[in-house]
Amino acid sequence: MFSTYSLTERSARFPWKRLVWLVVITAYAGLFFYNCLSSFRFWPVTYLYTMFFILWLDAEYFEKRLFLQSGFLPAEIFDHSFILLFVRFISALFFYSAFVLGIATAVWWPRFQILLYPFIQAAGVILLAGSIYLRYRFLKSRLENPEDIMRFFPSLVLLVYSLALGYASYLLLIYVTVVGLPILFLQIVLERKALRAFVNFASSEPSAGKITEKNSLPLWEKFIGAQSPRRKK
């Protein structure tokens, strides 16, 4: 079973428009965050972390991956499960609010910063790099069973704690621990449940055999179709 983004987007053409858009938006973000952070103390490593973070988001967007999701569930499945869609929404809300809180700490609330510059911020950069490494290692591997999806959770933990350290924020450290971790753990549990349901469905298909890269997408289409309320009537 392999990473998918959308069952309907299978074009082999190079996405030049997406690349041009990313170049423009990244250049704008670089200038924006430079102007935002450079007038405050302890800004260089924080700026480095911010741009590293944005470049990672660029790569995820370019490869059509769902941010903060494992990548083993097609995007269409979220349209047929309210709980998956809701948890995806609150995880995204947490993620971007954490980013804003980190920037706000550096700009407006420096009294809430951990004063160990540049070591704390450098640790955030290292955690972000570790999170990206684990994520891509995970995406290149096959899932032999739904339980293996829990291996994705450590990459999320490193990612959200990298935000707290990258911006050296006490507030963000508390926010990540109290709010973020339960949301992300719930998300992984629900994705594992959906993946287990898919594997059980595939095993009930007489012609399916073993799930491979070749038959994965057709099986997902059948599975998602079976979840549709119209099909159940």
What mean pLDDT value characterizes the chain?
81
Nearest to 126 by CA among 159, 174, 93, 88: 159
pLDDT of amino acid 219: 74
Distance between CA atoms of residues 71 and 66, nearest Å: 7
How far from 30 is each of 13, 23, 51, 181, 213, CA to CA, in Å? 28, 10, 7, 29, 38
Q: Give DSSP secondary structure letters for 138-168.
A: HHHS--SSGGGGGGGHHHHHHHHHHHHHHTT
Reference 169, options 221, 107, 87, 233; nearest CA is: 107
By the 10 Å C-beta count (0-12 exposed, 13-18 middle, 19+ buried), 102 is classed as buried
Please, which pLDDT band fits residue 130 given cuts at 50, 70 and 90? very high
For the chain, the domains span 16-232
Q: Indicate if the pLDDT at residue 114 is higher than 90.
A: no
The predicted pLDDT at position 5 comes to 47
Using CA atoms of 93, 98, 99, 102 in order, give the dihedral in degrees to the nearest 10: 160
- With beta carbons less than 8 A apart as the criterion, state whether 181 and 157 touch: yes
pLDDT at 224: 76
Residue 82 has pLDDT above 60, yes or no: yes
Other beta carbons within 10 Å of 139: 16
The number of angstroms, rounded, from the C-alpha of 173 to the middle of its chain's C-alpha atoms is 19
Instruction: Count other C-beta atoms under 10 Å from residue 10's C-beta.
Output: 8
Angstrom CA distances, 176 to 19, 40, 111, 151, 181, stand at 32, 24, 19, 19, 6
pLDDT at 94 over 80: yes
Q: Is it the case that residue 125 has pLDDT exceeding 70? A: yes
DSSP letter at 74 equals: -
pLDDT in tens, 134-189: 888 877 765 556 667 777 888 889 999 999 999 999 999 999 999 999 999 998 88
**What local confidence, expressed as pLDDT, does residue 75 receive?**
73
Instruction: Give mean pLDDT, residues 61-74.
Output: 73
Does position 2 have pLDDT exceeding 60, yes or no? no
State percent of the chain over pLDDT 90.
Answer: 30
Q: Is the pLDDT of residue 49 over 90?
A: yes
- pLDDT at res. 101: 92
Confidence of residue 20 (pLDDT cuts 50, 70, 90): very high
d(CA 118, CA 46) in angstroms, rounded, equals: 9
Q: What is the pLDDT of residue 233?
A: 46
Helix%, strand%, coil% for the chain, nearest 5: 75, 0, 25
**Of 64 and 105, which is predicted with more confidence?**
105
Question: Which of these, 12, 13, 32, lies nearest to 24 by C-alpha position?
Answer: 32
Report the candidate in 167, 177, 226 with the shortest Cα–Cα distance to residue 200.
Answer: 226
pTM here is 0.80
Grade residue 232 by pLDDT with cuts at 50, 70 and 90. Answer: very low
Q: Tokens for 197, please give them.
A: 């349901």
